[in-house]
Each structure stands twice: as C-alpha cells, then as structure tokens.
Structure 1
Amino acid sequence: MTLDWSGCRNARDLGGLPTADGRHIREGALVRSGSHDLLPETAAAAVRGGGVARIVDLRGRSECEERPSPFAGEPLYRHVPMVAEVLDYVPPPDTYAPMLDRHRHRIGAAFRAVAEAPSGAVVVHCQAGRDRTGVLVALLLSVARVAPGHVAEDYARTDGCDARTMLSTLAHLEERYAGAAAYLAGSGVDQGELEAVRRRLVGRAGDGRRRNAPDRLGTCPNLRCPPVPKTPPSTPTS
C-alpha cells in the first residue's frame, strides 16, 4: 500500500541509507516527518491500515494541544516529549549539543519507544520534522551503524538544514560520550533495546538498493512526500 504523507513537512522513508558493514536501512522500517495534524482523513485512514506499527510524537504538551495528532489516543500512538516544555538555554545556531546534554532521559525514552514498537513501520515526528526528529533519527541511524556523513546528508534534505550542524552534533556525541550507543546507555537504554533497533532497521547483507538518495526526494517507495522548499539554513530550536 502507498501511504500519502503529503500533508506533512519533511516526510521521507529512511530506507536505503548504507551502513558501515555494507548493508542498508530497510525500506519501510523508519519514516520521519513533521506534524500530522494536516493529514487528510483519507491519508490518516490509510496509515491506520497500512502497516504502521507505531507513531512517536516528540512534541511538547502545548504543541499537541494546539495542533492535535489525528492518531492521539490510538494504540499505535505514543506521545514522548523529547525536550522540556520550557527550555533553560538558548539553542545555538550550529549544533544540537545542548539538546543532547540537557535532555538525556527524555531522548532515551523516545529511543525506547522505537525499540519497543511492534513489528512494522515506525514514524517519528515533531512539529516541523527538523530538530527533535533530526536528533532522534541521527541516534537511531548511528546505532544502526550508518556513517556520520550519510546521517548528515539525510539531515540536510530537511528544509532549512545544513549538514554541518549534524556533523558538529555527531562530533560532540563522539567526543563527550564515546558515541551514540554509550550516550544512550547512560540515558536509560539497555543493550537489548540497542540490538532491537539494529534488527528493526538494518536489512540483510546484499538486500536493497540505495533509493533514498538526495536526488530522489519524494520518490521513496510506499511514501508520497511534498517537495522540500529551498530555504536558507535555520537556527536549531528545540
């Protein structure tokens, strides 16, 4: 079934990204997007019947109240606010390091929501599908052994984003915490949950082609996405 995410910003399947051991992220395993409140009802109904096992909403309480998810309260939906409702810092323009440092257990809870999902596709989103979604996706892909350059390349496909911001964030993760797995282990994620994410995301050796390339935006199989507008890089927010 083809799922229509055209009511969402920055929607795409992460399938096809290469891993360091020569495999690929499995198509239909992980989808990232912005808020779902503008999804047409027909599209929301297709999501419910289209093999999506879990939707992880990373937004804060006030965002969810102002723009409710059409899936709120349903078995597939999990609301896991990934940052505090009110930030006690000013987000810098070129890294998500403060988000990683100040919200470890919230980020760990969001990662576990993916690790513990039933079999099927997992969709992660925040409001714009950029900052919080970008950090969680970077952690998921890093645990699946996708190289930093490819993680940053995917991040840069999001409107207003610069690959250098994600490269800086991943460098901080490595330098301060010795990498994503060690960071998550200190954020309440156990070894079994790390392995569960690897099994969920990574296809068998030799499976698949890289269909999630930058020049194929909006053509990912089983996913119809709006084109990403070309806007100048933005400051990371939350």
Structure 2
Amino acid sequence: MYDEDDDLTFLNKDDLDSPLDHMAPVDAEAEAAKPDPEEMLALLESPQTNQRMLAARAFCELQDERAIPHLIRLLKDGCPLVRVSAAYGLGRNPSQEAVDSLVVQYNRDWNGYVRKGVVWALGNCRDRRSLPTLIEAIKTDIPAVRLWAASSLAQMASVGYEAVIAAIPPLLEALRRDPIPAVRSNCAWAVGQLCRELPSNVVYATAIDGLLEAIVEDEDLGVREDARAALLRVGDPRGLQLIEDLEQEGLL
C-alpha cells in the first residue's frame, strides 16, 4: 500500500522507538512542570499552527477527556506535525470515540510519522474495529509503522478471544518474513503476549511453533533472544524443553 521510499526510508533507531521512550519519568517535579490543561484546551482551537501543535503535544502528557474531540478534529489538520501530535495525544487519551477517525486518517495520510502515531493510538484504544487496520499496517506499511502495528496487535489480548485469534496469523507471517529484525522481534513479543490469553488449542500450538521456529531459524540473534523470552513468559512445556535442549547443546 505504501512506498518504502516515503518519509521513513532512511530508518534509524529513533524511527523505531515508541513515542513513550523519550518522555521523562513522571515524578513530583515533572508533575509540577506539566502544562496547564485549561490553557492547552484553549490552544487546541488556535488559528496558529505552532500553538495547535504545542497544545496537541501537551496532551501526550496530560490526560483529559475534554481534549478528545479536539484531538480527533486535529487529525485532519493541514500540518503533519499537528496531526502526529494529535495522534500521540489520542494514544495518551484513548477513547472508543476516536477509533473510526483514527482508521480513516490512517487510510488517507501520506505521512509515515502520522501513520505510526495513529497505529500506536489504535493499539491503546483496545477496540476490535482497529484490527483490520493494524493487520493491513503490519502487512503493507513502511518498517516503523509495521513495528508499532505488531506492538498494537498485542493489545488485542484485552479485547477478546476472536480478536486474539485474528491477530496471531499476520504476526506469525511477519515473524517469519519481515526483512527488518526489529519488526520480527516485536512480532515475537506480541505473539507471546497473545499466547498467554489462549487456551491450549490449534491456534495456540501454531503460535508456539512460530516462536520455536524463530529461535532455531532466525538469522538475527536479537530476534532469537526475543522469541526465547516470549516462550519463557508463556511457560509452554514444549517450548521450555526445546530451550533447555538448545542450551545444553550450546546453541543458545
């Protein structure tokens, strides 16, 4: 769907990071320095682009449901910096009211950074309506968006059984075939998260097989380690036995 040559072609570590990774820890001093919600709410309606961007970015720290309608509207702003800030703001203030607008913006936005923020926000909304968009993103989008689509699909664990079994096949496909190791690693982590919500059935067994395959066959050490960690968290006896056997053979 999207060309690898768009605005995230030259992918680096920062492109793959979560929007949360660069936020300072919340302590008493940080709390005191937070923006004033009333002032930021007013600025969301500002005619000046930089003020709208500043206000939308403030709600990446602030949680206030009054901002949600404004942030939804700003998803369509002409400035991509405002749109991406609005998307991350909705990720911090998740709402089922935002899901349809986030899906529409994902499908229409040319900017990879915005789609990345939208995918992250959709995961935090934990709504089944986001599932088709997240599946499309992990299959067709640029690397940074695929990476966060994997993380967001893991959030389907709290949505319900049907969402979990729909999320696992595209994650396994990406775990096997995605050319970017960081994406495969996130897929391994996500599959492990979803397995913890499944009974011991065919879907569960297929997911465990995918993680075992990654441990044995993936060319990237980091992916193998993340698949191993996912299996250890799940505690599947078959997976634990394979890990023990590989460790005894010096292959892990």
TM-score by length of 2: 0.27
Report which of the two structures shows the higher radius of gyration computed on alpha carbons: 2
Query: Which structure's residues are more often helix, by fraction?
Result: 2
